[in-house]
Amino acid sequence: MSPTRLNHLLPQTVSELSDNNSLHGLFHEHDDGISLPSGPMLTEIVNLCRSILFPGYYGDADVCRKSLPYHIGVEVERLYDLLCQTLNDEEKAATFVEKLPELRRILATDVEAAYNGDPAADSYSEIICCYPVIKAITNYRIAHELLLLGVPLIPRFITEMAHSETGIDIHPAASIGDHFTIDHGTGVVIGATCIIGNNVKLYQGVTLGAKSFPLDEEGHPIKGIPRHPILEDDVIVYSNSTILGRITIGKGTIVGGNVWLTESTQPGARIMQAKSNK
């Protein structure tokens, strides 16, 4: 290639790409010393939480009973420091750290639910190490806690990290009870205003979504309106079913696979797909 072209190409392209009009809305300017939370730092935060919550499974695999408090001490301090840097708020960082024992308590119920719900599972070890739902629900519960503390953006980052890792997309604003599990999980979507009771089980490909959403006068969707389903306790939804809108799926309802559901159900209901044609 002619050097002339090369010498021209670089300044011309750089100039176009640095133009304010070109950048409009797509450039996150580091302003007043604040920049976006870094990906590696959020990854470290999530990994520390996983390691504190499930010691020996995540983080240092060689931890033993006698050294466990030392490990947890170092990890909790590091987590606190990273949260202070990332949230820029020591009070929120401390509050989050104090929630860790409660987070572990509820995650224990999720592990139990996954184990009891799958005949292929041989042990708690297999659940904690190999079931994508554990990664997804852990990230969700961390993110939900941060969202309750008023932290912006970071909760979505954290659930999206699990979405990329597992194919399970849980919005951090959703509310999810204990003993929650998802089998296989790829393709599951749980929307921002979902309310899910205790002891609920989903299978792969289930969507708990919005049916439609009202637009404001300028034609933009109105934010913040409840628009996703409520699942009461003990509901099971089989694979690839779609439940849309602010409806209530009654306690103990079983929704079969491949179902498209936009209306509320009574407690104990059984909802099945139309028959296939042979």
Q: Does 220 bind its own copies (CB under 8 A)?
A: yes
Q: Shortest approach of its own copies to residue 259 CB, angstroms? A: 5
**Interaction residues for its own copies, span 198-217 (CB under 8 A):** 203-205, 207, 209-210, 213
What DSSP string describes 232-256?
-TT-EE-TT-EEESS-EE-TT-EE-
Q: Does 52 bind its own copies (CB under 8 A)?
A: yes
Q: At what angle do helices 39-53 and 132-148 cross, to 10 degrees?
A: 110
When binding is defined by CB under 8 A, the residue of 111, 146, 151, 202 that contacts its own copies is 111
Binding mask 123-162 for its own copies (x = CB under 8 A): xxxx-xxxxx-------------------xx--xx--x--
Longest dimension (CA), the chain: 76
Q: Does 256 bind its own copies (CB under 8 A)?
A: yes
Quote the CA–CA distance of 42 and 46 in Å, as a whole number: 6
Q: Does 107 bind its own copies (CB under 8 A)?
A: yes
**Torsions phi, psi of 202, nearest 5?**
-115, 155
Q: Does 276 bind its own copies (CB under 8 A)?
A: yes
When binding is defined by CB under 8 A, the residue of 44, 72, 247, 264 that contacts its own copies is 72
When binding is defined by CB under 8 A, the residue of 43, 88, 105, 268 that contacts its own copies is 105
Q: Shortest approach of its own copies to residue 195 CB, angstroms? A: 15
Cβ 205 vs Cβ 170: under 8 Å:
no
Q: Does 248 bind its own copies (CB under 8 A)?
A: no
Quote the CA–CA distance of 77 and 98 in Å, as a whole number: 12
Quote the CA–CA distance of 83 and 81 in Å, as a whole number: 5
Q: Does 48 bind its own copies (CB under 8 A)?
A: no
Cβ 253 vs Cβ 222: under 8 Å:
no
Q: Does 224 bind its own copies (CB under 8 A)?
A: yes
When binding is defined by CB under 8 A, the residue of 139, 141, 151, 191 that contacts its own copies is 191
Give the residue from 181, 152, 155 showing the smallest Cα distance to 168: 181
Q: Does 182 bind its own copies (CB under 8 A)?
A: no
Q: Does 187 bind its own copies (CB under 8 A)?
A: yes
Count of Cβ atoms closer than 10 Å to residue 130 Cβ: 11
Specify the residue, 106 or 177, whose C-beta has the smaller distance to its own copies. Answer: 106
